[in-house]
């Protein structure tokens, strides 16, 4: 039971962590990407569709990345180049993604979609290491996307806090006018962050369908993009703390499944709400103490 819980915790934390790291990059440049949910959902559908029709997991991952980048590119045009309200634009893209994936899903696979399945992404074989008590299930029982997600934590931290390029990204979110005056190119930096976030969000969606569910149902992202937004705040815009917050959410998801499996008389809808209720409670408790980039969410027009 404990091994299953630990393995499920890491599995559930992975898509949230990928999306949250992408959101961190975007928010450091001053943009709130509400459209992250739509990028995840689009990545989930098109990754599975490509893998289903081609038989290639790699092409599925590429399609998921392309879908995530496409959604973020639309957002970039709206909020970077046209200075549209970021919350409104992101919410509109979430709704667009729900509509697009729903239409294509029903067009290709009908209402039930019961034939819309692919072989799961294989786990990496660590041999006898997988049989180590507790540690085996926690560390050595996952596929490549899980290890990629956690490997990205120090990478993103290094880029943001130990490189000149990271300083430029943060300057675009703190004082965009000053950054542009120094010739840093705020529009360019925000586009870079949006593309990188699209890659990570697309992979997060692809993980849901290629490595976890092996199928697609409408709205399979299930609000994980919004949870990723909360995780960035819970993690105080620090990669390692974001990873810890993602694991906390993953544990809540795993606990939800465990409680449902016990067959109690409690309505299952309450269990479904558990991870999101936990995120709200923690956010209410410590989220307000975190200091966000000073230019976050503010429209910026180059003079």
**121 SS3 class:** coil
pTM of the model: 0.93
Question: Quick one: angle between helices 164-174 and 186-206, nearest 10?
Answer: 100
Tell me the average pLDDT of the chain: 89
Residue 179 has a pLDDT of 92
- Top mean pLDDT of 21-25, 245-249, 263-267, 272-276 is at 21-25
Cα dihedral 91→97→98→101 (10° resolution): 180
213, 50 contact by CB (below 8 A): no
Q: Given a cut of 80, is residue 73 above it in pLDDT?
A: yes
Residue range 49-65, pLDDT digits in tens: 999 999 999 999 999 99
138-196 confidence digits (pLDDT tens): 888 899 999 999 999 999 999 999 999 999 999 999 999 999 999 999 999 999 999 99
Quick one: pLDDT at residue 67?
98
- Domains of the chain and CATH, by start: 2-123+136-221 (1.10.3470.10)
Concatenated DSSP letters of 227-270 = HHHHHHHHTTT-HHHHHHHHHHHHHHHHHHHHHHHTT-SS-HHH
pLDDT exceeds cutoff 70 at 236: yes
Give the residue among 216, 189, 185, 250 at the shortest CA–CA distance from 19.
Answer: 250
Give per-residue pLDDT as tens, 278-302: 777 776 776 556 678 888 988 888 7
Residue 119 DSSP one-character state:
P
Q: Residue 141: helix, strand or coil by DSSP?
A: coil
pLDDT band at 237 (very low <50, low <70, confident <90, very high): very high
Q: What digits encode the pLDDT tens for the residues 98-153?
A: 999 999 998 887 766 566 788 889 888 888 888 888 788 788 889 999 999 999 99
Q: How confident is the model at residue 68 (pLDDT cuts 50, 70, 90)?
A: very high
> SS3 for 117?
strand
C-alpha 291/C-alpha 237 separation (Å) is 8
Band of residue 268 on the pLDDT scale cut at 50, 70, 90: low
Q: What is the pLDDT of residues 210-228, one digit of tens each?
A: 999 899 988 899 899 999 9
| Residue-level pLDDT at 261 | 62
What's the average model confidence in pLDDT over 253-278? Answer: 70
pLDDT mean over 25-53: 96
Spell out where the chain has E strands. none
What's CA 224's distance to the chain center, in Å?
7
What is the structure's pLDDT at 254? Answer: 83
Distances (CA, A) of 281 to 161, 187, 212: 29, 36, 27
Q: Residue 58's pLDDT is what? A: 96
Mean pLDDT of 264-278: 70
Q: pLDDT: is 260 or 208 the higher one?
A: 208
Type and span of the H or E element at 16: helix 2-28
């Amino acid at each position: 039971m404990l091994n299953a819980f630990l393995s499920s915790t890491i599995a559930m934390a992975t898509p949230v962590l990928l999306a949250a790291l992408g959101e961190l990059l975007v928010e450091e440049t001053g943009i709130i990407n509400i459209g992250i949910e739509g990028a995840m959902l689009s990545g989930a559908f098109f990754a599975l569709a490509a893998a289903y029709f081609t038989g290639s997991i790699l092409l599925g991952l590429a399609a998921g990345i392309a879908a995530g980048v496409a959604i973020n590119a639309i957002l970039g045009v709206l909020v970077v180049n046209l200075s549209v309200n970021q919350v409104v634009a992101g919410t509109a893209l979430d709704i667009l993604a729900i509509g697009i994936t729903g239409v294509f899903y029903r067009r290709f696979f009908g209402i039930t979609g019961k034939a819309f399945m692919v072989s799961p992404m294989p786990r990496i074989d660590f041999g006898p290491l997988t049989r180590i008590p507790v540690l085996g299930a926690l560390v050595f029982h996952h596929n490549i996307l899980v290890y990629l997600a956690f490997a990205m934590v120090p990478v993103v931290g290094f880029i943001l806090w130990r490189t000149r390029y990271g300083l430029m990204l943060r300057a675009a979110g703190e004082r965009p006018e000053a950054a542009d005056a120094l010739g840093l190119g705020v529009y360019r930096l925000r586009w870079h962050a949006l593309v990188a976030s699209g890659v990570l969000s697309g992979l997060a969606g692809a993980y849901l369908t290629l490595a976890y569910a092996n199928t697609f149902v409408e709205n399979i992202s299930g609000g994980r993009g919004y949870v990723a937004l909360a995780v960035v705040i819970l993690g105080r815009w620090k990669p390692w703390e974001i990873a810890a917050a993602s694991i906390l959410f993953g544990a809540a998801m795993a606990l939800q499944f465990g409680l449902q499996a016990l067959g109690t008389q409690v309505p299952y809808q309450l269990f479904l709400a558990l991870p999101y209720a936990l995120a709200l409670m923690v956010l209410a408790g410590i989220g307000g103490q975190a200091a966000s980039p000073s230019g976050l969410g503010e429209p910026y027009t180059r003079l």
